[in-house]
Structure 1
Amino acid sequence: MSCASELSRSHEYQSFRSSVPLRKIVVDSDGMKGWKVYDSSPKTIKCPIICLAPVSGTADIYFKQILSLSAKGYRIISAEPPVYWNVKEWCDGFKKLLDYMELDRVHLFGASLGGFLAQKFAEVNAHCPRVVSLILCNTFTDTSVFSYNDSAVVFWILPSLVLKKMVMGNFETEKVDNEMIDAIDFMVERLESLSQPELASRLTINCVRCYVQPQKICHLPITIMDVFDEYALSNDVREEMYKCYPNAKLAHLKSGGNFPYLSRSAEVNLHLQVMNNINYKTNSKQRNNVYAKMH
């Protein structure tokens, strides 16, 4: 991958790549489907935060969360799936990944498609809970909000260039600051690195008609994280999230665009600490200090 963006060349990203190894974990019986995983901090922590990326994301997009929160004693895992063509395949594969890593309980942080899949995994496994909490960033509960529901079945034969243009159309480039520009450039690089099957399969899951049954998971601690400036999803989608989870905690960011975990990482990281209630090394006095900083 050509490192042209500011974030790719940054000392922070280079430090991440040199200190946190990328693992490939094969979970299927034929030895073909491998998850790409960055895993930080003590492996003795058996209830980590697992970060799930949007359509265009690779496992390294959460490097700011991994570096910052692992330094505070949290275990953060960023997991990038292999090619799966439907939600059931993805959920089965993710369950196998958790089994392989010996993780019985997890907190899930997902952005866009990653947030949708986090909800579906919690729903599918509601009978045998493994999800402790959900933090859902700029995400949705129903794929019918997208324009490509009817054509999604042919994504598998479309050229990469066509698929990438579909995704790029959602990257807002107006009314953005330098941090948001850097985030967009970084995500464009990640999009360019994806193979045709990787991108086609993610877009297929993203657009084939499917919805979350919130009544099955609304008992979980859920945080809805969204931005108040422009991003790919409409206000109607945002409002539907609020209706589905009326008891959810709300983590509003004034700005940040489609990728606030990159462009507003400090704010996102604070919300991950406080809202997810995973205070491995944080006493009550420290928690109060974090709340004070947030407000």
Structure 2
Amino acid sequence: MAFAGRKCEAVKLLLNDGMDEIKVSPDYNWFRSTVPLKRIIVDDDDSKVWSLYDAGPKSVRCPIIFLPPVSGTAEVFFQQVLALTGWGYRVISLQYPVYWDLMEFCDGFRKLLDHLHLDKVHLFGASLGGFLAQKFAEYTHKSPRVHSLILCNSFSDTTIFNQTWTANSFWLMPAFLLKKIVLGNFAKGPVDPKMADAIDFMVDRLESLNQSELASRLTLNCQNSYVEPHKIKDVAVTIIDVFDQSALSLEAKEEMYKLYPNARRAHLKTGGNFPYLCRSAEVNLYIQIHMRQFHGTRYAAINPAMVSAEELEMSSNQDSEDYQ
């Protein structure tokens, strides 16, 4: 059980002096000191607590909601929260409670949106978060709640992990074994300092999750399920992928492209499993480009008064010629 209380030694070898650079960064400290963490219960079971950061103009009724991967908490998107709210967007980064079934998750998420008085939203999902975002869009397709999707290093079919046969036994496994399973998908070999810092930060976030949180997430990640694209064909989609090593196989990425032939594709040369941490400027740019198509509509996630300033900053930062 000692594993749960220390960094994985194999991962620490990748880091500069084993320091938690992100945890002591001015941006992270500013985020933690200025954006309050809210806890909300929407189910009859009061042990199911949604934790979230809700930042930006509350007048915006169609915000961007961020869903973390198996190893992540609501904090992992702090750089998106800071940058996007600075440009006038309303952003919600959340952490889901323990759910063992995809439909149970979708029902809980729908209740959360009802509680927040949000009719429709834009979802950014990383890995498992992206899969859950797709399943929620599918779940609500008859009365749509998802206006658009940004899928980062995500997948559409859980069988790619070859774990469907063990999905129902994760709840029995001790926390240290579950963490070992998750760490097995982290980058191996030399990485640049920013990626090393991102891995270190995610290991720290992983260690903050208890056994039931981890077991339930792995169960959702691996129980036999796939996305039915015909149910969400009217949802605007952007797919963010990296060209270097990540937990996703090339085949899984190609399947996503086939599933969403009209999706915009945003490629990062490097970034590993956590580009929103180590390549945040590029990811934030792609989010802005995705959201630009909704400016001037009731589904805009930005304060209308900020649009012109944001457009100017976008054009001066980088042209979107490589954004297909």
With the shorter chain as reference, the TM-score category is: over 0.9
SS state at 1:109 partner: strand
**1:15 and 1:262 mapped to 2: Cα distance?**
16
SS state at 1:9 partner: coil
**2:252 and 2:316 mapped to 1: Cα distance?**
30
**1:162 and 1:285 mapped to 2: Cα distance?**
47
Offset of 1:223 from its aligned partner?
0.3
Partner of 1:245: 260
Partner of 2:161: 146
Partner of 2:299: none
Structure 2: state its 5+ residue gaps.
7-17, 296-301
Offset of 1:292 from its aligned partner?
3.6
Contact 1:135 1:276 in 2 (8 A): no
What aligned pairs does 1:190-229 form with structure 2 within 5 A after superposition?
190-229=205-244
**1:65 and 1:293 mapped to 2: Cα distance?**
20
Which of 45, 57, 63 is matched with 1:30 structurally?
Answer: 45
**2:118 and 2:317 mapped to 1: Cα distance?**
29
Deviations 1:193-234 (A, max 9, x none): 100000000000100100000111122110010000010010
- Note the aligned Cα RMSD (angstroms): 1.7
Letter in 2 for 1:251: A
- Say if 1:43 and 1:239 are closer, same or farther in 2 by CA, change over 3 A: same
Deviations 1:66-112 (A, max 9, x none): 00110111001001111000100110110011000001010000000
Structure 1: state its 5+ residue gaps.
none
SS state at 2:50 partner: strand
Partner of 1:286: 312
**2:190 and 2:138 mapped to 1: Cα distance?**
37
- Is the aligned partner of 1:94 residue 2:120? no
- Say if 1:290 and 1:276 are closer, same or farther in 2 by CA, change over 3 A: farther
Partner of 1:47: 62
Letter in 2 for 1:85: W
Offset of 1:288 from its aligned partner?
6.0
Letter in 2 for 1:134: L
Shift >6 Å, 4+ stretches: none
Partner of 1:173: 188
Deviations 1:38-78 (A, max 9, x none): 01011111110000000000000000000011011100100
SS state at 2:23 partner: helix
- The TM-score with structure 2 as length reference comes to 0.88
Which of 192, 204, 225 is matched with 1:189 structurally?
Answer: 204
Contact 2:240 2:266 in 1 (8 A): yes
- The TM-score with structure 1 as length reference comes to 0.96
SS state at 1:79 partner: strand
Offset of 1:294 from its aligned partner?
4.5
What aligned pairs does 1:156-167 form with structure 2 within 5 A after superposition?
156-167=171-182
**2:156 and 2:30 mapped to 1: Cα distance?**
36
**2:259 and 2:164 mapped to 1: Cα distance?**
22
Which of 215, 233, 251 is matched with 1:236 structurally?
Answer: 251
Offset of 1:30 from its aligned partner?
3.4
Contact 1:160 1:196 in 2 (8 A): yes
**1:8 and 1:173 mapped to 2: Cα distance?**
22
Offset of 1:285 from its aligned partner?
5.0
Partner of 1:270: 285
SS state at 2:22 partner: helix
Which of 276, 282, 289 is matched with 1:261 structurally?
Answer: 276
Which piece of structure 1 moves more, 175-184 or 104-113? 175-184
Contact 2:155 2:256 in 1 (8 A): yes
**1:142 and 1:287 mapped to 2: Cα distance?**
37
